[in-house]
Structure 1
Amino acid sequence: MQEKVKTNGKLVKQELKDREMVETQINSVKCWVQETKEYLGNPTIEIDAQLEELQILLTEATNHRQNIEKMAEEQKDKYLGLYTILPSELSLQLAEVALDLKIRDQIQDKIKEVEQSKAMSQELNRQIQKVAKDLTTILTKLKAKTDNLVQAKTDQKVLGEELDGCNSKLMELDAAVQKFSEQNDQLGKPLAKKIGKLTELHQQTIRQAENRLSKLNQAASHLEEYNEMLELILKWIEKAKVLAHGTIAWNSASQLREQYILHQTLLEESKEIHSDLEVMTEKLQYLTSVYCTEKMSQQVAELGRETEELQQMIKIRLQNLQDAAKDMKKFEAELKKLQTALEQAQATLTSPEVGRLSLKEQLSHRQHLLSEMESLKPKVQAVQLCQSALRIPEDVVASLPLCHAALRLQEEASRLQHTAIQQCNIMQAGERCPRQQSNC
């Protein structure tokens, strides 16, 4: 009996030790279940970390459940028919823990809930990004410059309609995020911030659209005025090119004067061009925010250079015409004097009244005329001097009608003088002959 008691005592002692180990494991699982319930009720970490943690908890729950089931099976086999009181208590505790480990289902439900929330958050975020992208595209188009105001206004209307569509979508998203945030505060906060930024972007785009529409309307007026001035300048340049590259008619002082007046008139018209170009440059400053003005700026600069070159050409031609007209007027005056003197000498030389005079009187008259014809020489010299002083191209002088007339008058003066000398010689000879006959 003593040996039996001693053996049974050892068994009881071992049993108590085993029981303590089982209870320790049971208590550990109970603590884990309690902590897990508290975590499921109030998770505080970020969503991806939360999912990772839930997956770990799910694995742990599975392991704990398997361990408890194994322990229960071992206890059942070990105490079958023996010490029914002790194992019944452990069985109850194991059954209780096994019941608590149904939290695994709760973890799975929580994982599904978090994944759904994450999917919803990602979808809302995707939609927010889509609206943000649309608004950014609209904003970029609103900032783009155009070279066609009519088309730009049509495009502006289309962009306005797209902007209204973004506004409707934004309102829907705002309401959806608010509703989502009520159930998912952690995921809802960053979405709410993005909605706030999206609203700011929307307002910025609206302001840009309003500002651009106003500038497009103003640009139409500025562009019309620019084109009006451009047309006037181009017409002046066209006329100036024709005049500046045209051939000058050098034939007479009156012709030169008429051409001088044409050049002077055109030069007077160009006085407003410089100020017009400055105004056109100012117009480009108003246009530059919505209109492609690079080519127009180059055009204004080129017009300025071309206009300046033509003005200088016209000024040079104007001076040349003025000098030539002055010289030609003097040349024509000297020619007139020479012509008048020659006509008088010719009239005297061929006068019928002189023919009715006596030979002696005719000789005296011819000799007096010959002495007067000496005064033609300075007139001829004056004509020659004026001709050589003409400020016109040398290759033109030879073809001038006035120069031909001058040459003809000079030849006429020489011929008249020669004729007068011949007549005087004939009359002197005729007068000597009667005297000789009388002496005989």
Structure 2
Amino acid sequence: MACPVSSLLQQVRRTRAQVQQELQEREEVERELGLVKSWIQDTQGLLPGLATDEGSMLQELEVLLPLISHRQNVERIAEQQQSKYLDLYTILPSEISMQLAEVTLTLGSLEEQVPQTALYWLGKLLIISVKLKEKAPEISQAKEETKALKEELESCGRSLSELDAAVQEFGEQNPTLSKQLKDAITKLKEIHHHTGRLADYRTARLKKAASHVHEFSEMLEFVMAWTERAEAVVKDSLIWSSSSQLQDQINTYQLVLQESRELHTNLDTMAERAALLSEVLQTEAMNQQVSELGRHTEELQQNIRTRLQSLQDAAKDMERLELEVRDLQAALESAQGTLTSPELARLSLKEQLAQRQRLLTDMEGLKQQVQAVQVCQSGLRVPEEAVTSLPICRTALALAQEASQLQHTAIQQCNILQVGGTTRHHRVTLTHHKSTSR
């Protein structure tokens, strides 16, 4: 059996929760009714006189348009509250009942000041006006919607003409009663005229917008095509090879950069076209596309500039190395030609020795040329791992070895000739001595 104190506490808690919920619901009802009261207070000041200025009149009637919505909302609140308290077997609290009655009466009074027929057509015209100001996601949809709205506007115009004729007929029999209706019809016809001009303006803007969209698409196509080419170039690895092959790559990068000169102009123009189109189209996606393309193309350009500078530096160094290697190769061929010349072999030993000694002296220049090649090679601005695989570097190494071998051969030949010359001298001296002795 439950403890009486515990049961009492549970009941108190439930009651407290119910009270809190009731307070929250009443606050919500009072808040919604307060919004309606505030709207009523703001609106009542607009009703005493009929505006003569079209813009002011339109603003006045647009303020009145929420009248039906507020009335339906108050009816919904009243129905909910009555149903709620009926389920609780009690009556609607007097403070809520009085507020609902007050707001309902005030709304009814406001509604009586606007003829129902006029309010209906006003609603239709204002809906068309609002839709004419809405922005479509694309030009074709905007044209279709505008065409449909103009047709609906023409239908409204025919109906207003029929309504005007009916009011005129009614006015002949009831002059006093028809005055408010005539005033309302006059306002509606003015609003219809204003909405018609708005539709014509939108149609004209859409014609210009079609041209702007075409221009935007053309420039977008150019930017996208350049972007694809640039991405393909950047994706390819740089080839570190001869100066001519490096120059071919330089030409490709320079061409892509040259084509990019129009990018910023096109992107700026695309942004301008998007701004013009924003009057009739939703251009958020277009603006975002222009912004992203601007960032992406700038990154690609910077990447290409960096690669181009690396290629140009490498090409300069490679040209210098190739020139030094050619000079070294020519000097070696000249030295080899001299060393192996048949004419040299027909000279006397003394003359051969003199020629080879001069050749050895000249070969000191080969050492300097080899050093010059090595300096150029060590200063090559290419990746270190690519140096060993370069044909020109392998050629330079082979030429250096060949120069060393050639010098070694020349030294050996000089030594042989010197020994041979000394031996011959001894033989000549010995023969001369024997001859003298006899």
- Bin for the TM-score computed over the shorter chain: 0.5 to 0.7
Equivalent residue, structure 1, for 2:204: 214
1:14-413 maps to which residues of 2 (within 5 A)?
125-185=115-175, 187-413=177-403
- Give the length in aligned residue pairs: 319
Equivalent residue, structure 2, for 1:73: none
Q: Which amino acid in the other structure matches residue 282 of structure 1?
A: E
> What is the rounded CA distance, in whole Å, between the counterparts of 2:137 and 2:389 in structure 1?
55
> What is the rounded CA distance, in whole Å, between the counterparts of 1:404 and 1:132 in structure 2?
91
> What is the rounded CA distance, in whole Å, between the counterparts of 1:182 and 1:154 in structure 2?
43
> What is the rounded CA distance, in whole Å, between the counterparts of 1:398 and 1:197 in structure 2?
90
- Compute the displacement of 1:190 (Å): 3.2
Q: After superposition, what is the alpha-carbon deviation per residue over 1:165-184, rounded to whole angstroms, capped at 9, x for unaligned?
A: 11111112222233334444
> What is the rounded CA distance, in whole Å, between the counterparts of 1:328 and 1:292 in structure 2?
55
- Compute the displacement of 1:405 (Å): 1.1
Report whether the alignment pairs 1:431 with 2:411: no
Per mean C-alpha deviation after superposition, the further-off stretch among 238-247 and 206-215 is 238-247
> What is the rounded CA distance, in whole Å, between the counterparts of 2:386 and 2:360 in structure 1?
36
Q: After superposition, what is the alpha-carbon deviation per residue over 1:123-177, rounded to whole angstroms, capped at 9, x for unaligned?
A: x944433332322232222112123323332332222211111111111222223
Q: After superposition, what is the alpha-carbon deviation per residue over 1:348-383, rounded to whole angstroms, capped at 9, x for unaligned?
A: 122222222333332332222122111111101111
SS at match of 1:342: helix
Structure exhibiting the larger radius of gyration computed from Cα positions: 1
- Compute the displacement of 1:187 (Å): 4.4
Q: Is the 8 A contact 1:355 1:362 kept in 2?
A: yes
- Compute the displacement of 1:317 (Å): 2.4
Q: Is the 8 A contact 1:335 1:383 kept in 2?
A: yes
Q: Is the 8 A contact 1:334 1:382 kept in 2?
A: yes
Q: 1:416 aligns with which of 406, 420, 424?
A: 406
Q: Which amino acid in the other structure matches residue 228 of structure 1?
A: E
> What is the rounded CA distance, in whole Å, between the counterparts of 2:393 and 2:378 in structure 1?
10
TM-score (norm 2): 0.67
- Compute the displacement of 1:337 (Å): 0.9
> What is the rounded CA distance, in whole Å, between the counterparts of 1:279 and 1:348 in structure 2?
71
TM-score (norm 1): 0.67
SS at match of 1:266: helix
> What is the rounded CA distance, in whole Å, between the counterparts of 2:308 and 2:371 in structure 1?
29
Q: After superposition, what is the alpha-carbon deviation per residue over 1:68-110, rounded to whole angstroms, capped at 9, x for unaligned?
A: xxxxxxxxxxxxxxxxxxxxxxxxxxxxxxxxxxxxxxxxxxx
> What is the rounded CA distance, in whole Å, between the counterparts of 2:158 and 2:342 in structure 1?
118
SS at match of 1:236: helix
SS at match of 2:380: coil
Q: Which amino acid in the other structure matches residue 240 of structure 1?
A: A
Q: How large is the RMSD of aligned CA atoms in angstroms?
A: 2.4
Q: Is the 8 A contact 1:267 1:314 kept in 2?
A: yes
Q: Which amino acid in the other structure matches residue 395 of structure 1?
A: E
Q: Is the 8 A contact 1:131 1:169 kept in 2?
A: no
Contiguous gaps of at least 5 residues in structure 1: 1-120
Q: After superposition, what is the alpha-carbon deviation per residue over 1:233-262, rounded to whole angstroms, capped at 9, x for unaligned?
A: 211222222223432233122222232233
Q: After superposition, what is the alpha-carbon deviation per residue over 1:315-373, rounded to whole angstroms, capped at 9, x for unaligned?
A: 22232222222221111111111111111111112222222233333233222212211
Q: Is the 8 A contact 2:336 2:406 kept in 1?
A: yes
SS at match of 1:247: coil
Q: Is the 8 A contact 1:128 1:173 kept in 2?
A: no
> What is the rounded CA distance, in whole Å, between the counterparts of 1:252 and 1:220 in structure 2?
52
Q: After superposition, what is the alpha-carbon deviation per residue over 1:382-413, rounded to whole angstroms, capped at 9, x for unaligned?
A: 11111112222222222211111111111111
> What is the rounded CA distance, in whole Å, between the counterparts of 1:394 and 1:185 in structure 2?
103
Q: Is the 8 A contact 1:354 1:362 kept in 2?
A: yes
> What is the rounded CA distance, in whole Å, between the counterparts of 2:145 and 2:297 in structure 1?
38
Per mean C-alpha deviation after superposition, the further-off stretch among 124-133 and 406-415 is 124-133
SS at match of 1:145: coil
> What is the rounded CA distance, in whole Å, between the counterparts of 1:153 and 1:198 in structure 2?
26
Contiguous gaps of at least 5 residues in structure 2: 1-110, 432-438
> What is the rounded CA distance, in whole Å, between the counterparts of 1:154 and 1:270 in structure 2?
38
> What is the rounded CA distance, in whole Å, between the counterparts of 2:401 and 2:183 in structure 1?
109
> What is the rounded CA distance, in whole Å, between the counterparts of 2:295 and 2:193 in structure 1?
46
Q: Which amino acid in the other structure matches residue 340 of structure 2?
A: T
> What is the rounded CA distance, in whole Å, between the counterparts of 2:385 and 2:176 in structure 1?
99
Q: Is the 8 A contact 2:240 2:246 kept in 1?
A: yes
> What is the rounded CA distance, in whole Å, between the counterparts of 1:401 and 1:201 in structure 2?
85
Q: Is the 8 A contact 2:142 2:281 kept in 1?
A: no
